[in-house]
């Protein structure tokens, strides 16, 4: 079995179209103003192969912004589980977002297992797409070591000009390739081109902040009392954009809503955010994180400290979305450098 195969560019459209005939295919699509989003496509022509990270990460397919969990019937005293899932292929997932999905998998497969998430995840095929260069100045994928592929996909596409070289990583990936019947085995020359592309990437991608990968955690271990958070307090408007676009933020709220008959109803969950005012509010109107500085600090700690303690992994994927979307121009790279300056 070949680990690497080749897809000629002229066959790309045929590949996507044939996939879309048997299942839902989603891929990055241009939305104008240099914005992109994962959307359903039926042909390869709709796909933006060169894109900066989408408004929302592919997280939205694994953990939808709103998801019904149960339906209840008061009169019958019944509560029935509801599973919302759909078989689909996500095409064009960058390495940062592959890392994001890996993080979510760790969280939701860990106890208590999230059955809805696990069932949905198992219906989704993932096709990665390599970034040959930086997407823009907000990315910090190298310092968190996500600029090169590190698993988490069924197939992985690398653009080599007139063709893609494709890494087959799973049985499912192999099935997709053999069904499409447009892939050819990769010859030595193509493999060599892939190797030289990776070599070139090692010279392009450099640590984006003044802190080494292994020292990020140490930096955040002692960052709790930092003055840097006070500066963020003045600027942050608590719009929640940074967490809602984050590939590894997974907090949710659970809400019951009656139907019009007032007897039946549904329980659903929707994304919540530590940036929102009511997030840490408890009975008696006490708020554990009333200040926006505390909320921002919490967000950073949830990327660079707490998950490292629990899962031994940074939950920042380096995608840069939080900085890109922030209206107050709070930039992750700046915050890290400011923290580093302080400790010197």
Partner 1 sequence: MSKPKVAFFDFSCCEGCQLQVANFGEALLDILGLIDVVMFREVMSEKSEVYDVAIVEGSITTTHDVERIKKIRATAKVLIAYGSCATIGGINGMKNNFDLEDIKQYVYKQDAKYFETIPTHPLHKIVKVDYFVHGCPVYQPEFVKVLKCALAGLSYVVPDYAVCVECRFNENVCMFDKGISCMGPVTRAGCNSWCINNGNICYGCRGMVSNPAKNGQMDILKKHNISLDWVENKMNMYNKPRELDIDEQKHKG
Nearest residue (CB) to partner 1, 111 versus 329: 329
Q: b vs e for 176-194, b when ≥16 Cβ sit within 10 Å of the residue's Cβ?
A: bbeebebbeebeeebeebb
Query: Which residues inside 54-113 make contact with partner 1, applying CB under 8 A?
Result: 55-56, 60, 65-66
Residue 1 contacts residue 174 (beta carbons within 8 Å)? yes
Q: Measure the CA–CA gap between 61 and 13, rounded to whole angstroms.
A: 23
Q: Does 270 contact partner 1 by CB under 8 A? A: yes
Helix (H) or strand (E) holding 322: helix 321-325
Q: Does 296 contact partner 1 by CB under 8 A? A: no
Q: Which stretch binds partner 1 (CB under 8 A): 4-12, 34-42, 80-88, 135-143?
A: 34-42
Q: Does 278 contact partner 1 by CB under 8 A? A: yes
Nearest residue (CB) to partner 1, 115 versus 254: 254
Map tokens 């096709």 to a residue. Answer: 127
Q: Measure the CA–CA gap between 116 and 130, rounded to whole angstroms.
A: 29
Nearest residue (CB) to partner 1, 151 versus 258: 258
Residue 289 contacts residue 251 (beta carbons within 8 Å)? no
Q: Does 262 contact partner 1 by CB under 8 A? A: yes
Q: Measure the CA–CA gap between 54 and 28, rounded to whole angstroms.
A: 7
Draw the binding track, 308-337, toward partner 1 (x: CB under 8 A; -: no contact).
-----------------x-xxx--------
Q: Measure the CA–CA gap between 156 and 3, rounded to whole angstroms.
A: 11
> Which listed residue (260, 282, 283, 286) binds partner 1 by CB under 8 A?
260
Query: Which residues inside 186-245 make contact with partner 1, applying CB under 8 A?
Result: 234-241, 244-245
Closest to 82 (Cα-Cα) out of 91, 90, 73, 74: 73
Q: Which stretch binds partner 1 (CB under 8 A): 32-40, 100-108, 167-175, 202-210?
A: 32-40
Nearest residue (CB) to partner 1, 235 versus 313: 235
Q: Does 282 contact partner 1 by CB under 8 A? A: no
Rounded to a whole number of angstroms, the minimum distance from the CB of residue 26 to partner 1 is 12
> Dihedral through CA 244, CA 248, CA 254, CA 257, nearest 10?
50
For partner 1, the binding residues (CB under 8 A) are 31-35, 37, 55-56, 60, 65-66, 234-241, 244-245, 257-262, 270-271, 273, 275-278, 290, 292, 325, 327-329
């Amino acid at each position: 079995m070949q680990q690497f195969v080749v897809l000629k560019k002229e066959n790309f459209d045929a590949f996507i179209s044939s996939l879309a005939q048997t299942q839902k295919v989603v891929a990055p699509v241009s939305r104008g103003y240099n914005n992109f989003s994962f959307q359903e496509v039926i042909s390869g022509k709709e796909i933006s192969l060169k894109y900066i990270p989408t408004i929302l990460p592919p997280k939205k397919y694994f953990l939808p912004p709103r998801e019904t969990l149960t339906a209840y019937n008061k009169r019958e005293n019944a509560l029935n589980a509801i599973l919302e899932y759909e078989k689909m292929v996500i095409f064009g997932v960058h390495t940062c977002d592959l890392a994001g999905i890996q993080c979510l998998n760790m969280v939701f497969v860990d106890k208590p297992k999230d059955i809805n998430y696990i069932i949905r995840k198992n219906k989704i095929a993932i096709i990665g797409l390599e970034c040959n260069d930086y997407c823009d100045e907000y990315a910090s994928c190298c310092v968190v070591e996500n600029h090169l592929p590190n698993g988490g996909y069924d197939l992985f596409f690398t653009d080599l000009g007139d063709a893609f070289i494709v890494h087959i990583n799973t049985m499912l990936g192999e099935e997709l390739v053999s069904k499409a019947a447009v892939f050819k085995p990769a010859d030595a020359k193509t493999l060599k081109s892939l190797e030289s592309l990776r070599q070139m990437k090692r010279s392009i991608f450099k640590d984006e902040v003044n802190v080494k990968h292994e020292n990020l955690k140490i930096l955040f271990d002692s960052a709790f009392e930092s003055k840097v958070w006070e500066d963020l307090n003045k600027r942050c408007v608590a719009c929640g954009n940074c967490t809602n676009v984050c590939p590894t933020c997974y907090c949710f709220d659970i809400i019951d809503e009656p139907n019009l008959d007032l007897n039946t109803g549904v329980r659903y969950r929707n994304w919540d955010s530590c940036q929102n005012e009511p997030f840490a509010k408890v009975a008696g109107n006490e708020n554990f994180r009333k200040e926006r500085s505390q909320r921002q600090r919490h967000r950073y700690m949830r990327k660079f400290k707490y998950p490292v303690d629990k899962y031994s992994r940074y939950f920042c994927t380096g995608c840069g979305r939080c900085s890109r979307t922030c209206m107050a121009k709070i930039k992750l790279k700046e915050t890290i450098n400011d923290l580093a300056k302080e400790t010197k």
